[in-house]
Amino acid sequence: MESKITGGCHCGAIRYRCSRPVHLPAYCHCQSCRRIVGAHAVAWFTVPVEELHFGALRPTQYPSSPGVTRSHCSACGTTLTYWNEKDPGVIDVTVASLDAPGLAAPGRHIWMEDAVAGDSPNDGLPRFPQDG
């Protein structure tokens, strides 16, 4: 039986629980993720849409690009999810919002072609120019 994992935003208004990742989590270095979060990279893990359950409050939806909806806490700004209509059955969740981020340790770097100058991870994980 899958154990549930939990997380939430910085202020605590948004809480969620979900299943374990369905594939290897990734650090994304793309321009959209960078600007949404204001950081050089964002760690994501993926779960089936029906396996992500929010508490009393749901995050605010934001259409960040055609076909893509991201969500964040409207009170504190924490980025929580990424959903793409090209793969509607799954949703990405930020590893950093987990209560125990070690449960979804990233194993690859994606969109390295968008990485900011000096962002050159040297952790031995595979690096991909785009999605990988």
| Minimum distance, C-beta of residue 42 to Zn ion, in the bound complex (Å) | 6
Q: Does 95 bind Zn ion (CB under 5 A)?
A: no
φ, ψ at 104 (rounded to 5°):
-140, 55
Token output for 100: 């125990």
Q: Does 103 bind Zn ion (CB under 5 A)?
A: no
How many whole angstroms separate alpha carbon 77 and alpha carbon 109?
24
- By CB under 5 A, name the one of 5, 18, 26, 33 that touches Zn ion: 33
Short-list 55, 39, 45, CA closest to 102: 45
| Minimum distance, C-beta of residue 76 to Zn ion, in the bound complex (Å) | 3
Helical H runs in the chain? 31-37
Q: Given the complex with Zn ion, which of 23 and 50 has the nearer CB atom? A: 23
Range 1-30, binding Zn ion (CB under 5 A): 9, 11, 13, 28, 30
How many whole angstroms separate alpha carbon 131 and alpha carbon 30?
9
Footprint of Zn ion (CB under 5 A): 9, 11, 13, 28, 30, 33, 73, 75-76
